[in-house]
Amino acid sequence: MFFILSKTLIYLLVPTIWITIILIYAYFTKSQKRRKRSLLIGLLLLFFFGNGYIGNKAMFLWEKGVVPIAPLKAYDIGIVLTGITDSQREPHDRVYFIRGADRLLHTIQLYKMGKIKKILISGGSGVLVGKKVSEAGDLKRTFLYCGVSEQDILIEDKSRNTHESSVFSKHLVDSLGIKGSFLLITSAFHMRRSEGCFTKAGFKVDSFPVDFYSNDNNPSLIDLIPSEGALSDWSLLIHEITGYLMYKIMGYS
């Protein structure tokens, strides 16, 4: 039930939905006072959530910071989380990557540089409807194409969310009697929730955030103009913070 709710209620957390509802109300209300007030609120929300500077600052404060590669010790296992492919797209003769492919690319780099000895890919299918295709299987194929030895790849492909990913990954490494050091690899915006889950599951992990949405560049005038990119980033951020808080309440992290 929690999985279904988490996948459906996300649509109520999108700022564009709030703005649209307010503007629809402004259009249909017969009260001039309420119409003006609704239009003002809608425009203010559009300016706030569409403002690239404000959105970037908020995301920068939330994302875990970049970790330099050179000082990293060698880890026994790098745990990379899925959620970066379009498993519903056909034909299934290739892997279709979406935003977040840095999770895979940086994992390959860490492996090639000797910073991680083995790779644990964690994540099954998180879709509610449609054909359930294992994302972990897709990533394994890509790792093999890129020269990662098959004996250095472990797969957990039953989980549907971050909580299950941490629990099922712990069961896997315990069943194999694996002891050692672990490096958690996922998108920077998703690292806080992931760290909490894997720690709760019994892992002692260090984190390696990738796929950064924010930057520390100086703002420009164009950042003040409402953009669809800023609205999209806010939707992602609100969804992630809500998920983080819900996981805390549920005792998942």
- Indicate left, alpha or beta for 196 from its phi (over 0: left) and psi (-120 to 50: alpha): alpha
- pTM score, whole prediction: 0.91
Q: If DSSP codes are grouped into helix, strand and coil, which group holds residue 161?
A: coil
Whole-number pLDDT of residue 110: 99
Q: What pLDDT does 220 receive? A: 78
> Residue 249 carries which side chain, given as an amino acid letter?
I
Cα R_g (the chain), whole angstroms: 21
Task: List the one residue out of 188, 210, 208 whose CA is nearest residue 74.
Answer: 208
Summarised one tens digit per residue, pLDDT across range 136-159 is: 999 999 999 999 999 999 999 999
What domains can you pick out in the chain, each with its CATH number? 2-63+229-250 (no CATH), 75-210 (3.40.50.620)
pLDDT < 50 regions, the chain: none
The per-residue pLDDT for 115 is 99
